[in-house]
């Protein structure tokens, strides 16, 4: 598994791992029921402490992205669609909020579209 860590970021390492794995699930890089690296293995690969990976895995399990089967290992959920759906909804919601904010500032929809098209 390929995860880039930014040690300067305000986002904690464990959260970066969480976000990256969620992203890879959404992008079909990680497939349903696929086994992911053991805690200690990933910790060694990333050069960080196993507890940090554990915290990331715990968070992912709460969010139902992965399932850990004690002595067997840790696996991507079989319900990957739900993970994608939640992620897409969140992003759509962000966009809506941002559009609303621009409108509040006094920029109408046509202007927003114009600005978006400049570099797109």
Partner DNA sequence: GTGGTCTAGACCACT
Partner DNA sequence: GTGGTCTAGACCACC
Q: Say which entry of DNA, a copy of itself, none residue 96 contacts (CB below 5 to 8 A, set by partner kind).
A: a copy of itself
| DSSP bridge pairs for 36 | 74
14 binds, among a copy of itself, DNA, none (CB under 5 to 8 A by kind): DNA
Distance between start and end Cα atoms, the chain:
31
What DSSP state is assigned to residue 75?
E
Shortest distance (Å) from residue 48 CB to a copy of itself: 9
What residues make contact with a copy of itself under the rule CB under 8 A?
Answer: 7-8, 10-11, 23, 26-28, 62, 67-70, 72, 84, 87-88, 91-92, 94-96, 98-99, 101-102, 104-107, 112, 115-116, 119-120
Q: How far is the CB of 32 from DNA (least distance, A)?
A: 17
- 40/111 with CB nearer a copy of itself: 111
Which CB atom, from 32 or from 73, has the smaller least distance to DNA?
Answer: 73
**Minimum CB distance to DNA, residue 68 (Å):** 4
Spell out a b/e string for 58-97, using b for 16 or more CB atoms within 10 Å of the CB, else e.
Answer: ebbeeeebbeeeeeeebbbbeebeebeeebeeeeeeeeee
| Sequence-distant (≥ 6) Cβ neighbours of residue 56 within 8 angstroms | 13, 14, 15, 17, 18, 21
């Amino acid at each position: 598994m390929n995860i880039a860590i930014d040690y300067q970021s305000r986002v904690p390492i464990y959260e970066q791992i969480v976000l990256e794995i969620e992203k890879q699930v959404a992008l079909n890089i990680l497939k349903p029921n696929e086994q992911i690296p053991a805690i200690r293995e990933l910790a060694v690969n990333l050069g960080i402490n196993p507890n940090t990976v554990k915290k990331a895995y715990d968070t992912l399990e709460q969010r139902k992205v992965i399932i850990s089967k004690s002595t067997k290992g840790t696996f991507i959920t079989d319900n990957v669609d739900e993970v994608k759906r939640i992620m897409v909804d969140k992003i759509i919601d962000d966009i809506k909020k941002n559009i609303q904010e621009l409108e509040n500032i006094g920029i109408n929809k046509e202007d927003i579209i114009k600005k978006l098209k400049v570099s797109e």
